[in-house]
Amino acid sequence: MPISVIRPILFYFLISALLVIGGCGAISSSDDPELTRFDIIDTSGSDSATDPESELSIDPDEENILTVGNNEGEFTLYWNVNTDDNYSLSIRVNDDNDFGGEELYSDFCDPDEDCHEEQNLSCDYTNNLEIICEDFDDNESSINVDRIVNEDDLPEDLFFILQVCDPFGFDCEDQSIRVEFRD
């Protein structure tokens, strides 16, 4: 068969294959995760959602006026992701608002899990500079802030950074919250 006949046939098959792959969602997802909210209720009870201009702080000796009982150092991170597809999530603490630093929490969410609703992470900041958090499934995670900042430098502004990505880690979106950490 002459090359002039083969070339159009190959071109036709190549275009057809690309259309099939694109139609299956293998090239891109029509429902990339959208981070619609990321807020914090700090240890004093200030909520970044209701007062975005407030100076937020995390203090191991401060009692949260919104909770009852022994609540020194308690704070809550909460967020909402808009998608019907799988996504991954990571919350980090860093000394700048770039995604990096120490990972505090991570999760992989599929459409059948509760993590497609508004979520929160209940945390304690202790006198030994440890953040201990528990999620909606009672999974616990923790980090030491002294890996990020020297205790002698406290109080110091640090950032909570939440990043959501598609299941393949390509389409990511993040938001950060600046918080003053105290000792």
The predicted-structure confidence for 79-94, as pLDDT tens digits, reads as follows 999 888 899 999 999 9
Do 25 and 76 fall within a single domain?
no
Give strand pairing partners of 41: 47, 76
Nearest alpha-carbon partner for 43 in 26, 28, 65:
65
Per-residue pLDDT reduced to its tens digit, 91-118? 999 999 888 899 999 999 887 776 766 7
Do 110 and 42 fall within a single domain?
yes
- What confidence score (pLDDT) does residue 103 get? 96
Q: State the residue range of the domain holding 23.
A: 1-30
Do 76 and 13 fall within a single domain?
no
Do 10 and 98 fall within a single domain?
no
Give strand pairing partners of 43: none
Do 23 and 65 fall within a single domain?
no
Nearest alpha-carbon partner for 46 in 56, 34, 32, 36:
56
Do 76 and 19 fall within a single domain?
no
Do 11 and 76 fall within a single domain?
no
Do 73 and 6 fall within a single domain?
no
Number of structural domains in the chain: 2
Do 117 and 82 fall within a single domain?
yes
Structure letter (DSSP) for residue 5? H
The span from the CA of 31 to the CA of 166, in Å, is: 9
Structure letter (DSSP) for residue 64? P
Mean pLDDT by 10 residues, the chain (183 residues): 55 49 45 91 92 91 61 90 90 91 92 75 93 90 91 93 92 95 90
